Amino acid sequence: MEKDLQTVIFTWFAKNSRLIISIFHFAFYTGLAILVGFAYLEMQDKYFASIYEIGKFFGQSALVLLGVVALPGILGRFRIEIKVTRIITLFRRQLGITVFLLAFAHYFLIKLVPTISGIIEFKIPYPALFENLGAIALSILFLMFITSNNASKKTLGKWWTYLHRFIYVAIWILVLHVGLQKISIWTLGIFTVGALEVTSWVYYFLNKPAANTTSGGNSSTGQN
């Protein structure tokens, strides 16, 4: 029986997962080197404006990738099966790590390095509410980043799952972080992701199969 295109694509990614993860590691270290280079340039005041734009790009990329990572879960709760999205699930850990790295690069270039270099004044808490919300969201992503490994999952047990569910909180904090600056396509995008997350969970619980037990002609129904 001939396989459909989605199955062929998924099979290829599954067979070459080690190679793809190796490429991910290479990209990580290359990106780290580039980030250090950006930091050096930002310390030169005349480059600040252009590096600031690059920092914004990293933040926007983190939002897009966060939506991509959330997609399989949303579709699954709506009981919509798109085989090709299994590729996202296959590399979900690596993609989640990349979300944090992009978000940190955003913070690093826009806030941290300019503060260290004296271009902007250091203040805690930050002067603007959206900056503090961004820092909170980044902190949540950091906790997920450092626990995105088998050792942490084994050690934390069920608490690992609870911790990683804070991503839903982070999404709505990011809605405020972006929205308080300017209502834009990025605001609408991350809001849509958050709204779909909530809606999909409501749909999931409303349509969750009940556990039926029958004994002596009587039946009792309960929800798992």
- Segment 22-31, tens digit of pLDDT: 777 667 767 7
Residue 222 forms part of a structural domain: no
pLDDT digits over 72-94, tens only? 999 999 999 888 788 888 888 88
The CATH number that applies at residue 83 is 1.20.120
Which helix or strand (DSSP H or E) is residue 19 part of? helix 17-42
Q: Taking residues 181-199, what's their average pLDDT?
A: 94
pLDDT at 215 over 50: no
- 107 vs 114: CA distance, rounded Å: 10
Residue 213 forms part of a structural domain: no
pTM of the model: 0.79
pLDDT at 189 over 80: yes
pLDDT digits over 117-155, tens only? 777 777 888 889 999 999 999 999 999 999 988 899 999
Which pLDDT value is given to residue 94?
A: 86
Q: Taking residues 208-216, what's their average pLDDT?
A: 54
- What φ, ψ does residue 210 adopt, rounded to 5°? -85, 150
Number of domains in the chain: 1
Which pLDDT value is given to residue 201?
A: 94
Residue 215 forms part of a structural domain: no
Buried b vs exposed e over 126-152: b needs ≥16 C-beta within 10 Å? Answer: eeeeebebbbbbbebbeebbebbeeee
What average pLDDT does the chain have?
A: 82
Which pLDDT value is given to residue 10?
A: 67
Q: Taking residues 12-19, what's their average pLDDT?
A: 72
Residue 33 forms part of a structural domain: yes
Tell me which residue range forms the domain holding 149.
5-208
Residue 217 forms part of a structural domain: no
pLDDT digits over 2-11, tens only? 467 767 776 7
Amino acid code (one letter) for 68:
V
Residue 223 forms part of a structural domain: no
Residue 50 forms part of a structural domain: yes
Which pLDDT value is given to residue 214?
A: 41
